[in-house]
Chain A
């Protein structure tokens, strides 16, 4: 008895594991709640006057030390000051950050810290219900009084973005990461150049072209996977294919399980675009044109195939990562091999310039919050704001001034030194460490700095991913900011419906992919629709529609 009880209780605590991690950068649609509904914005900007009286904390004027916790299973913060970049900050700005680690089990750690009222000064986490929970329990420090005193966030994110991030009470509690106001993202199709050329470089524009091409690959190259899907149970290629069957049909619609129609969210299961794309994907799987491991493979298996050139076409939400390494690996053996990207595939008859395989969100990926445990929250905010500003970004990205970057050029963007090019091995090493300190990434600053520099390089030394980002992916990602934070809190009635629906959706999608015929795909989706309605799908969609419309209003209002 005791053992069994213990087991169940411990299981409850211990297995809280996974989840929180691996949110990657599909975030534009993942978060929820956060700071959406309710009160009109802008009420807070001049609200409390008590702290407004001047007194700006100047970074470096006195030592600042705070604890930092990254709420992800996969995240381990490296020691502050062990690398050149943070060492420089420690010495010149007198800032020391003490890591609090998740130990691979973020959810448990997070809950334990709340229960024992032992919160770290800063928590780095996903936007959404967890932030809202902390705020509702009055554990977070609002930033409104600091925004004007430390202007970087306001300058780079803008008021519209700040308003989107505000909580129900009209105040701002979250410091965003990788926020942006220009398209970014890598979603799209990557094609094996060698196979493509050997097959006579046929046209690859429509879904029919793709289907015929895959059939030819299967005939000629029995050992090659014609279409690699990535981890299809998380969406991956299936989401990308969805976009091919409808103009302005964003992958986000699949993620929020709702398709906007006349200002309302409607069922995904009855969406003709979803139905057609699911049939198409199912046909690829059935005829063994898509990898049969689509639903079971690990990321390593997927990577192995791409790196071996064993894949003819692959699509994913960020295929540039493997496309880049794959090209380098294949080129080492055969200079004519490698991967190229193609313009997003579309269903015949659609406008190819209205096909969006990926999305980006102005609010970026995740956020940092300052808890009431912080002794001097203003100083912490001052640091975060400096960190997201030009000097902070240059330092944490490319090391201390004088090494790979040396201050700003006339446009304010990073000025790179010669070492940046010649010493790329050590540079990459440094960057792979400081990568883990990018808590307040300023996308526009970083991308513009890189793009300007990359443009000055000769064709052959351009980075593979940067090249295709400039030529294709950045032009084909849609803005999905209005769809962020739609999810209900998990313990609310709508939240429970969402959980059940989400759970069912994953199962339905897998079953539909493995269906024996196109007709079976439709019958699976029809059954899903009636099951979903029985769960209360409509009620959920009404809730999400309200939140979405609030977002639209906030974005227009500013």
Chain B
């Protein structure tokens, strides 16, 4: 595999002389394989994009797209001037940054630790257990988070009580101070194993000779980790970092919707996506919802571009 990629990397340099068309036909088998993917992206990602125009009209599902009246930036103004705008933006950013600060390094740490495990059996068991929750839907995860943390019959409260840490059950789910912690922990628990797979793969690709050389020079395991493993997987980390920053406004949707069941938590839990859902979808205000969604997309693209510019300096950018 790596040889094929290496060869392809060399070919483009000769291309300038032979011309793009010849080049295209020379690798027709590869092009053939790309076609379905291009179609897929075109049909499902580009074609529906015309729908965002809805944000600039008063969309009426009976009249359809072409007959609905145009309203310009009305829906955007409505959103920027709504009293929910700032609290929602704040929650979106805070939750997102918390998830980034804790959820991003966590799988790297897990991967580094798993890499040090010498017993294969143990390593595999841990890997399987940690990555399984990724495949559970949030409905299920939120369901048992709620039942574990509830005050009546909640196992976590029972446990703390039996350990004599608390006298009376704590109302975890209705106290706004605990919400972000619960949300971020549940996220880390759910995705840590799955996200670590990519880092484990990257670590597996590190040249073993380097460790050997380092060991001869007397580097401890910790030193090897910091001086060999981490620098070797840095490009992967940076790429994922860029993607994560582009996703900064995606603070989460299902997880928040399902975990923040108490309306009193809305001061700390309402983010852009849940807001769009509540204001837009629940009342069929399609145009308004699309406007908020479009606003989010524009900010996200900007963030992604900035992150990429920064990363280009390290030579590991996306484009």
Q: Are B264 and A507 in contact (CB under 8 A)?
A: yes
> For residues 1 through 38 of chain A, which have their beta carbon under 8 Å from a beta carbon of chain B?
1-12, 15-16, 18-19
Residues of A within 8 A of B263 (CB): 233, 295, 506-507, 509-510
Q: Mark A494-518, 1 if CB is under 8 A from B, else 0.
A: 0110010001001101110110000
Is B77 interfacial (CB 8 A cutoff)?
A: no
Interchain CA distance A510-B294 in the complex, whole Å: 32
Q: Are A11 and B253 in contact (CB under 8 A)?
A: yes
Q: Are A292 and B253 in contact (CB under 8 A)?
A: no
Interchain CA distance A181-B168 in the complex, whole Å: 49
Contact of B281 among A1, A15, A133, A310 (CB under 8 A): A15
Q: Are B286 and A12 in contact (CB under 8 A)?
A: yes
Is A46 interfacial (CB 8 A cutoff)?
A: no
Q: Are A296 and B146 in contact (CB under 8 A)?
A: yes
Is A463 interfacial (CB 8 A cutoff)?
A: no
Is B235 interfacial (CB 8 A cutoff)?
A: no
Residues of B within 8 A of A1 (CB): 297, 301
Residues of B within 8 A of A509 (CB): 263
Interchain CA distance A288-B146 in the complex, whole Å: 19
Q: Are A295 and B45 in contact (CB under 8 A)?
A: no
Is A107 interfacial (CB 8 A cutoff)?
A: yes
Q: How large is the interface on B (under 10, 10 to 19, 20 to 34, 35 or more residues)?
A: 35 or more
Q: Are A292 and B61 in contact (CB under 8 A)?
A: no
Is A53 interfacial (CB 8 A cutoff)?
A: no
Q: Which of B30-38, B150-158, B214-222, B308-316 contacts A (4 or more CB under 8 A)?
A: B150-158
Is A301 interfacial (CB 8 A cutoff)?
A: yes
Interchain CA distance A296-B153 in the complex, whole Å: 13
Q: Are A5 and B62 in contact (CB under 8 A)?
A: no
Contact of B273 among A6, A11, A295, A503 (CB under 8 A): A11
Q: Are A19 and B297 in contact (CB under 8 A)?
A: no
Is B12 interfacial (CB 8 A cutoff)?
A: no
Q: Are B289 and A12 in contact (CB under 8 A)?
A: yes
> For residues 35 through 80 of chain B, which have their beta carbon under 8 Å from a beta carbon of chain A?
41, 44-46, 48-49, 51-52, 58, 61-62, 64
* Minimum CB–CB distance for B258 against chain A, Å: 10
Q: Are B41 and A490 in contact (CB under 8 A)?
A: no
Q: Mark A272-297, 1 if CB is under 8 A from B, else 0.
A: 00000000000000001001110111
Interchain CA distance A114-B168 in the complex, whole Å: 54
Residues of A within 8 A of B286 (CB): 12
Residues of B within 8 A of A16 (CB): 281
Q: How large is the interface on A (under 10, 10 to 19, 20 to 34, 35 or more residues)?
A: 35 or more
Q: Which of B105-113, B169-177, B226-234 contacts A (4 or more CB under 8 A)?
A: B169-177
Is A259 interfacial (CB 8 A cutoff)?
A: no
Residues of B within 8 A of A298 (CB): 143, 146-147
Q: Are B294 and A8 in contact (CB under 8 A)?
A: yes
* Minimum CB–CB distance for B137 against chain A, Å: 12
> For residues 91 through 146 of chain A, which have their beta carbon under 8 Å from a beta carbon of chain B?
107, 111, 114-115, 133, 136-137
* Minimum CB–CB distance for A170 against chain B, Å: 21
Is B8 interfacial (CB 8 A cutoff)?
A: no
Interchain CA distance A514-B177 in the complex, whole Å: 14
Q: A295-B263, A510-B264 are in contact. Are A5 and B49 (CB under 8 A)?
A: yes
Q: Mark B268-305, 1 if CB is under 8 A from A, else 0.
A: 00000100111111111110011001101100110000
Q: Are B173 and A296 in contact (CB under 8 A)?
A: yes
Is A370 interfacial (CB 8 A cutoff)?
A: no
Interchain CA distance A297-B174 in the complex, whole Å: 10
Nearest chain-A residue to B142 (Cβ)? Answer: A298
Is B181 interfacial (CB 8 A cutoff)?
A: no
A-B contact count (CB 8 A): 140
Q: A295-B261, A514-B264 are in contact. Are A19 and B282 (CB under 8 A)?
A: yes
Q: Are A491 and B285 in contact (CB under 8 A)?
A: yes
Q: Are A295 and B293 in contact (CB under 8 A)?
A: no
Is B134 interfacial (CB 8 A cutoff)?
A: no
Is B262 interfacial (CB 8 A cutoff)?
A: yes
Q: A8-B297, A298-B146 are in contact. Are A305 and B152 (CB under 8 A)?
A: yes
Residues of A within 8 A of B246 (CB): 4
Residues of A within 8 A of B147 (CB): 298, 301
* Minimum CB–CB distance for B192 against chain A, Å: 23
What does DSSP make chain B's interface, helix, strand, loop or mixed?
helix
Residues of A within 8 A of B171 (CB): 292-293
Residues of A within 8 A of B284 (CB): 107, 111, 490-491
Most B CB contacts (10 A, CB to CB) among A15, A288, A490 go to A15
Q: Mark B84-112, 1 if CB is under 8 A from A, else 0.
A: 00000000000000000000000000000
Residues of B within 8 A of A12 (CB): 276, 280-281, 286, 289-290, 293
* Minimum CB–CB distance for A227 against chain B, Å: 12
Q: A507-B264, A510-B263 are in contact. Are A15 and B277 (CB under 8 A)?
A: yes
Interchain CA distance A133-B62 in the complex, whole Å: 8
What does DSSP make chain A's interface, helix, strand, loop or mixed?
helix
Residues of A within 8 A of B293 (CB): 5, 8-9, 11-12
Most B CB contacts (10 A, CB to CB) among A8, A18, A513 go to A8
Is A484 interfacial (CB 8 A cutoff)?
A: no
Is A304 interfacial (CB 8 A cutoff)?
A: yes
Q: Are B264 and A295 in contact (CB under 8 A)?
A: yes
Q: Are B290 and A114 in contact (CB under 8 A)?
A: no
Nearest chain-B residue to A298 (Cβ)? Answer: B146
Interchain CA distance A297-B169 in the complex, whole Å: 15
Is A225 interfacial (CB 8 A cutoff)?
A: yes
Nearest chain-B residue to A18 (Cβ)? Answer: B282
Residues of A within 8 A of B266 (CB): 507
Nearest chain-A residue to B151 (Cβ)? Answer: A292
Most B CB contacts (10 A, CB to CB) among A2, A3, A513 go to A2
Residues of A within 8 A of B281 (CB): 12, 15-16, 19, 107
> For residues 508 through 539 of chain A, which have their beta carbon under 8 Å from a beta carbon of chain B?
509-511, 513-514
Interchain CA distance A296-B150 in the complex, whole Å: 8
Q: Are B153 and A305 in contact (CB under 8 A)?
A: yes
Interchain CA distance A36-B262 in the complex, whole Å: 34
Residues of B within 8 A of A114 (CB): 61-62
Q: Are B276 and A233 in contact (CB under 8 A)?
A: no
* Minimum CB–CB distance for B62 against chain A, Å: 4
Residues of B within 8 A of A296 (CB): 146, 150, 173-174, 261-262
Q: Are A8 and B152 in contact (CB under 8 A)?
A: no
Contact of B62 among A3, A137, A513 (CB under 8 A): A137
Residues of A within 8 A of B273 (CB): 11
Residues of A within 8 A of B250 (CB): 7
Residues of B within 8 A of A496 (CB): 283, 285
Residues of B within 8 A of A291 (CB): 151-152
Q: Are A4 and B49 in contact (CB under 8 A)?
A: no
Q: Are A514 and B174 in contact (CB under 8 A)?
A: yes
Q: Are A293 and B276 in contact (CB under 8 A)?
A: no
> 10 smallest A-B Cβ distances: which pairs?
A8-B293, A510-B264, A292-B151, A295-B262, A2-B45, A296-B173, A137-B62, A510-B263, A506-B263, A4-B297
- Contacts A9-B290, A509-B263 known; 19 new A-B pairs at CB < 8 A: A2-B45, A4-B246, A4-B297, A5-B52, A8-B52, A16-B281, A111-B284, A114-B61, A115-B61, A133-B62, A233-B261, A233-B263, A293-B150, A296-B150, A297-B152, A298-B147, A499-B282, A510-B262, A513-B264
A-B residue pairs in contact (CB < 8 Å), sample of 9: A4-B297, A7-B250, A8-B293, A111-B61, A293-B150, A297-B150, A297-B152, A491-B285, A507-B266
